[in-house]
Amino acid sequence: MSAAREPMIVASGVCKSFGDSVALNHVDLSVTEGTVFALLGPNGAGKTTLVRILSTLIAADAGEVRVGGHDVVHDADRVRERIGVTGQFSAVDDLLTGEENLRLMADLHHLGGNGRNRVAELLERFDLADAAHKTPATYSGGMRRRLDLAMTLMGSPSVIFLDEPTAGLDPRSRRTMWESIRELIATGVTILLTTQYLEEADELADQIAVLDDGLIVAEGSPAELKARVPGGHVELQFAAPEHLQAAARLFKTASADEHKLVLHVPNDASVPSLRALFERLDDARIDVDHLSVHTPSLDDVFFAVTGHTTAEDTTP
Amino acid sequence: MTALTYTLSDSATMLRRNLRRLQRYPSMTVLLVGMPIVFLLLFVYVFGGQLGTGLASGQSGRRDYLEYVVPGILLMTIAASVQGTAIVVAMDMTAGIIDRFRTMAIARPAVLAGHVIAAMIQTFLGLTIVIGVAIALGFRPTANPGAWLATIGILALFGFALVWLATALGLAAKSVETASNTPMFLTLLPFLGSGFVPTDTMQGGLRQFAEYQPFTPVTETVRGLLNGSPIGNHAIAAIGWSIGIAIASYLWALRLYINRQPR
């Protein structure tokens, strides 16, 4: 039954330009209900523009977008009833307390008498109960994001957009935020998140699309994307040059570093191929001082598909 | 619930939010209500003795000038108050929360309605305080209850028009700083009309401007209602200007709000 159902988010041929600069160039994407989809790309790739189009904030110049089966332009209010958006600029009212911010959301969702319980529940869940009567001006970056996310969840949305949910957070707050997002994933909602952090997409997403300069340049599960890139290898560290030379004769495709006494042997890091590697080393009686296995990271993927690293900072 | 009850309920929610924000940011309200009071004291006690003798009816100078200047000060109170409205609207539009509202299924007019109603409440609060100060200084209007009601009506109508104008200016402003400057001309207009001195004491082009700009008929109507001076066609002009400014500003504000690009 679910196989026949339309995906929760469908975008086809989405284009958007701001003046002369093309932000999105025929973007297609499809997000299955109950999954996490990550849009990965550097600053200026078009991630935020795409989220704004998907969440009814701005209209695309061309293309069609449907969320939860409704068109984002013609049926914007139907879409708005189902979505929750947490932007990269925190969308909290700085002059209201944390509790009042949540209360405001409860009132706008017309929760009536249930609102009070829901406010208390969300304050508790996001560890904000102690700060409930303080304004967000006194909050840490992590607390602001948590309040922001709590406000997004007030209406129990079935589709959640998280635009760079951990940008600018310290590593500890980032971990806490990931925990919150994982709890959210467990409730079965559909999530589209954008991030510049490859680790974040790898940690959270079922499906990743790499967005670069307004184009989706690669798409797949984290594993599929990694599989597209060669670069898996085993690094062998030797104690003496003669051991290195002996090993280099054994593995013809390996590359040796004479100074560091290191040999990189291509290997897909599967158990049989590692076992085969060890057997050959044992047969040749070569002593290995230290060994490490390297699988390709999403950084490698990004570099392979875009020709530049994620660190590159283009204008937004 | 029907669409109408949603609109009313969402507008009430937004009004509560805006009133709470005003409460949390009282320095601006104090400053904006304080300004016309300072001008009232300045014009009555510093310039009043001299200006009062120039009035046609002038007998006791300062006291007569107090009676004359209060309507001008009341309009200045409205102008100052809506300057705050423009700032508050711009603050809101440059903050992230407005984008949140726009991704929610909130009744469309609620956000602006919340601002406009809060601004009207703030304006009337200011007017009440200023009238209170004027009465404490010896202002004794001759108006009967009917004339008072009509005064409140005219001030409400003109206030409503300027609140919408300020809302549009706040929406049009790219920054909060701009929004605090653009409505400044409104606080000058009582001077360039009959707010502080009769327009027939002015010369040439200035006099013509002073006679025909919208603040003058409103000032003259309020003055007539409170002090019994002749109103003539001013009431019609005051109502016409107010309705015209309100409609034009409302349409402008709505367009700006709907077409607004997120930050």
Closest CA–CA distance from residue A58 to any residue of chain B (Å): 7
Which residues in chain A have their CB less than 8 angstroms from residue B17's CB?
A: 93, 96, 104
**Per-position pLDDT tens, chain A of length 316:** 444 567 999 999 999 999 888 999 999 999 999 999 999 988 888 999 999 999 998 899 999 999 999 999 999 999 999 999 997 777 899 999 999 999 999 999 999 888 999 999 999 999 999 999 999 999 998 899 999 999 999 999 999 999 998 888 888 889 988 998 999 999 999 999 999 888 888 889 999 999 988 999 889 998 888 777 766 788 899 988 888 988 888 888 888 888 889 998 888 777 888 898 889 889 888 888 888 888 777 677 777 777 766 554 443 3
Pairing outcome for strands A290-294 and A233-237: antiparallel
Q: Which of A272-276, A301-305, B24-28, B88-92 has the lowest mean pLDDT?
A: A301-305
Average pLDDT over residues B220-231: 91
| Spatial contact of A81 and B105, defined as CB atoms under 8 Å apart | yes
Say whether both A194 and A154 belong to one domain: yes
- The reply to whether A315 falls in a domain is no
Say whether both A24 and A105 belong to one domain: yes
Average pLDDT over residues B199-218: 90
Counted residue by residue, chain B has a size of 263
Say whether both A134 and A205 belong to one domain: yes
Which among B25, B99, B105 is the nearest to A80, CB-wise? B105
Q: How many whole angstroms separate alpha carbon B23 and alpha carbon B165?
A: 23
Both tokens of residue A72?
């984002």
Closest CA–CA distance from residue B32 to any residue of chain A (Å): 19
Instruction: State residue A90's pLDDT score.
Output: 74
- The reply to whether A28 falls in a domain is yes
- How many helices (H) and strands (E) chain A has is answered by 11, 14
Structural domain that includes position A52: 7-227
Average pLDDT over residues B230-245: 93
Instruction: State residue B130's pLDDT score.
Output: 96
Instruction: State residue A1's pLDDT score.
Output: 44
Q: What are phi and psi of B77, to 5 degrees?
A: -60, -45
- The reply to whether A76 falls in a domain is yes
Both tokens of residue A20?
């002369």
What number of other Cβ atoms are within 10 A of residue B106's Cβ? 21
Say whether A56 and B103 touch across the interface (CB within 8 A).
yes
Which among B6, B10, B103 is the nearest to A57, CB-wise? B103
Say whether both A288 and A216 belong to one domain: no
Query: Could you tell me which residues come within 8 angstroms of residue A141 by beta carbon, excluding any fewer than 6 positions away?
Result: A168, A169, A170, A173
B155-202, pLDDT tens digit by residue?
999 999 999 999 999 999 988 999 988 998 998 999 898 888 888 888
- The helix/strand/coil state of A11 is strand
Say whether B97 and A93 touch across the interface (CB within 8 A).
yes
Say whether both A32 and A161 belong to one domain: yes
Of the candidates B215, B180, B219, B220, the one whose C-alpha atom is nearest the C-alpha of residue B31 is: B180
- The reply to whether A308 falls in a domain is no
Say whether both A23 and A113 belong to one domain: yes
Residue A89 per-residue DSSP state = S
Say whether both A128 and A237 belong to one domain: no
Which among A85, A92, A104 is the nearest to B103, CB-wise? A85
Say whether both A278 and A179 belong to one domain: no
Say whether both A279 and A195 belong to one domain: no
Position of tokens 């929360």?
B97
pLDDT, greater one: A267 or B17:
B17
- The helix/strand/coil state of A57 is coil
What number of other Cβ atoms are within 10 A of residue B3's Cβ? 9
Say whether both A213 and A72 belong to one domain: yes
Instruction: State residue A252's pLDDT score.
Output: 82
Both tokens of residue A137?
């001006």
- The reply to whether A311 falls in a domain is no
- The reply to whether A135 falls in a domain is yes
Q: Which of residues 109-168 of A touch B (CB under 8 A)?
A: 109-110, 135, 151-152, 155
- The reply to whether A256 falls in a domain is yes
| Percent of chain B scoring above 90 in pLDDT | 60
| Spatial contact of A159 and A9, defined as CB atoms under 8 Å apart | yes
Say whether A108 and B102 touch across the interface (CB within 8 A).
no
Closest CA–CA distance from residue A176 to any residue of chain B (Å): 23
- The helix/strand/coil state of B32 is helix
| Total structural domains within chain A | 2
Partners of A209 in the β-ladder: A39, A219
| Spatial contact of B118 and B200, defined as CB atoms under 8 Å apart | no
Closest CA–CA distance from residue B160 to any residue of chain A (Å): 25
Q: What angle do CA A79, B12, B5 make, to 5 degrees?
A: 60
Query: Could you tell me which residues come within 8 angstroms of residue A55 by beta carbon, excluding any fewer than 6 positions away?
Result: A72, A79, A83, A85, A161, B103
Domain boundary among A211, A227, A243: A227
Instruction: State residue B14's pLDDT score.
Output: 95
Q: Residue B26 burial by CB count (10 A; 0-12/13-18/19+): exposed, middle or buried?
A: exposed
Say whether both A130 and A259 belong to one domain: no
CATH code of A171's domain = 3.40.50.300
| Sign of the dihedral defined by the CA atoms of residues A175, A46, A24, A62, in that order | positive
Say whether both A108 and A162 belong to one domain: yes
- The reply to whether A17 falls in a domain is yes
Say whether B17 and A93 touch across the interface (CB within 8 A).
yes
- With residues binned 3-state (H G I as helix, E B as strand, rest as coil), the percentages for chain B, rounded to 5, are 80, 0, 20
For residue A96, give the chain B residue with the closest CA.
Answer: B21
Residue B54 has pLDDT above 80, yes or no: no
Of the candidates A81, A149, A78, A154, the one whose C-alpha atom is nearest the C-alpha of residue A111 is: A154
| Spatial contact of A313 and A42, defined as CB atoms under 8 Å apart | yes
